[in-house]
Structure 1
Amino acid sequence: MNPVPHDFSPLGLFLAADPVVKAVMIGLALASIACWAVIIEKSFALGRLRREARALAGAAVNPSILHEGAADLTSVALRAGLPEWRLGQGLQETDGEFRARLDGAMRKAVLKSVRLAEPGLQILATTGSVAPFVGLFGTVWGIMNSFTGIAASNDTSLAVVAPGIAEALFATAIGLVAAIPAVMAYNRFVGGLTGARQEAMSAASDLALRLSRTPRQQLAE
C-alpha cells in the first residue's frame, strides 16, 4: 500500500502539528497581528507628531501663527507657558530666570504630550526579541516528537522523518515572520520619535524665548 501523501501546505503543516507546536504557532500568529496593528497605528501617530513639531517650530519663528488654530503640540506648549507669562517677571527674577521658567513649563508639557505616542513600542521590542526563541522552542519540541516516532516505528526513511521536521521548522519560520517586521518597525519608530521629540523640545525652547520677549499687549489673551 502506498503511503498517504503528506500535506506540506502551511495549513496542512499546522493541522498536522503537535498540540504544543500548534499553541506556539497560534501565539506567534497573534503576536504578529498585534505587531502589525501597532505598526499601522504608530505610522499615523509618528506622521502626526512630525507635523505638529513642525507647526510648533513655525509658531516660534512666526508669532502670528499663535493667533490661528494651532496644532496640538503648539496648544499644549501655550497652555503651559501662557499662565507663567501672564504672571510676569518677578521683582527678584532676572530675564534669564523668567525665560527658564517659561521654557521649563513648556518643555515639560510638550515632552509629556510626545510620550503619549510611545506606548505600544514595547510590543514590537518584545516580539522582535522573543519570537525567534519561541519559534525555536516549537521546532525543538516538534523534532523531539519526530525522533520519538522514528524510534517507535523503527523506520528511518525520509518519508517518515520529513513531515515531522517540516512541521517543526514551520514554527521557526512563523517566529521569524513575526520578529523581523517587529524589529525593523521598532528601530524605525524609535528613531522617528527621537527626532520628533528633539525637534519639538527645541521648538518649545524657541517659543519660550519668543514669548519671554513679547509684551503682554502684543499677544491677545
Structure 2
Amino acid sequence: MPATAQDIATMPQDLTVGAMFQRADWVVKGVMAILVLASVTTLSIWIYKTWEILAQRRSIAAALEALAAAPALGTAARLPDPAAAAMVGVALQELERYPSAAWYPLADGIKERAAALIQRVEAGQQRRLSRGVSVLGSIGAAAPFIGLFGTVWGIMNSFIGIAQAQTTNLAVVAPGIAEALLATAFGLVAAIPAVLVYNLVTRAIAGYRVRMNDAAAQVMCLLSRELESEAVVPPRKAGGLHGV
C-alpha cells in the first residue's frame, strides 16, 4: 500500500546511527550504552594486557638466559623477571634452612619442598597475568544476548506503535525496526572483538607459562647441582662382601 501524505510527513528523515539512538526507547538506549561500555572495557584490557604480556615475555627471556649461564643459585638471585627471581628466592630459602652438612641426607626432601614452593610462584604469576581475561570471556558470551534483548524490546515497541498508528506501511514501520536491530549490531560489535582478544591473550599467557616452566626446570637443576656439590658422602663401612 503506498504511503499517504501524512505517513510521509511523519517519517523520520535522519536514519543515521546517532539519530536512531536518540529516537530509541530508553531500555534500548540503556542496552546500547552498556554495550558501548563493554567495547571500551575490551579495548582497555587489550591494550593493558598486550603491554603487560610483552614486558613479561621480554623479562622471562632474559631470565632464562641468565639462568642458563649461572653457575649456582646464589649468582642467579637477581633476575629481570619477578617470577623467575621469586623461584630462585624460594629455592635458596629452602636450601639455607639447613647446614651444608645436612644437605646430603635431606636432598630429596629439600628438592620436593622447593618444587612445591616454585609451583606456588608459578600459580601466583599466572593468576596475576590472567586478571581481566575472564571479563573478556563474559563480554564475548553475554554481549550478543544483551543486544538481542534490546532488539526484542525495540521490536515490541515498534509493533505497539504499528497498532496505534493503524498502518502497516513499510516506510513508516522500517525505522522503528531498524532502531531495534541497532541493539543487535551493538552486541555483535562488542562480542566479536572480546572473543578475539580473549583468544589472543589466552594464547599469549599459555606461551609465557611454558617459559615459566622452563625457568622452574632450570632453577631445580641449579638446586640439584648445589646439593651435589656440597654433599657429604658418608664413609663406607669396614668389612664388605670381600671382607675389606
Same fold per superposition (TM over 0.5): yes
Instruction: Give the distance between the partners of 1:91 and 1:53, measured in 2 at CA.
Output: 30
Q: Which runs of 5+ in 2 are unaligned?
A: 231-244
Q: Say whether the 8 Å CA contact 1:25–1:174 is kept in structure 2.
A: yes
1:46 aligns with 2:56: no
- Larger mean CA deviation between 89-98 and 189-198 belongs to 89-98
Match of 2:119, as an amino acid?
R
Candidates 112, 137, 148, aligned match of 1:136:
148
1:21 aligns with 2:28: yes
Instruction: Give the distance between the partners of 1:6 and 1:168, measured in 2 at CA.
Output: 17
Instruction: Give the distance between the partners of 2:80 and 2:149, measured in 1 at CA.
Output: 52
Tell me by how many angstroms 1:78 deviates: 2.1
Q: Say whether the 8 Å CA contact 2:87–2:121 is kept in structure 1.
A: yes
Tell me by how many angstroms 1:67 deviates: 6.2
Larger Rg computed on CA atoms:
2
Tell me by how many angstroms 1:145 deviates: 0.8
Deviations 1:70-103 (A, max 9, x none): 3322222222221112234646745443323322
Instruction: Give the distance between the partners of 2:93 and 2:178, measured in 1 at CA.
Output: 66
Q: Which runs of 5+ in 1 are unaligned?
A: none
Q: Say whether the 8 Å CA contact 1:13–1:167 is kept in structure 2.
A: yes
Deviations 1:80-128 (A, max 9, x none): 2211122346467454433233222223223312321111111101110
Q: Say whether the 8 Å CA contact 2:45–2:132 is kept in structure 1.
A: yes
SS in structure 2 at match of 1:214: helix
Where does 1:88-103 land on structure 2 (aligned, <5 Å)?
A: 88=98, 90=102, 93-103=105-115
How many residues end up aligned between the 2 structures? 218
Where does 1:86-125 land on structure 2 (aligned, <5 Å)?
A: 86-88=96-98, 90=102, 93-125=105-137
Instruction: Give the distance between the partners of 1:67 and 1:85, measured in 2 at CA.
Output: 13
1:181 aligns with 2:193: yes
Percent identity, aligned pairs only? Answer: 37
TM-score (norm 2): 0.80
Candidates 80, 93, 107, aligned match of 1:83:
93
Cα RMSD over matched residues? 2.4
Higher helix share: 1
Q: Say whether the 8 Å CA contact 2:77–2:88 is kept in structure 1.
A: no
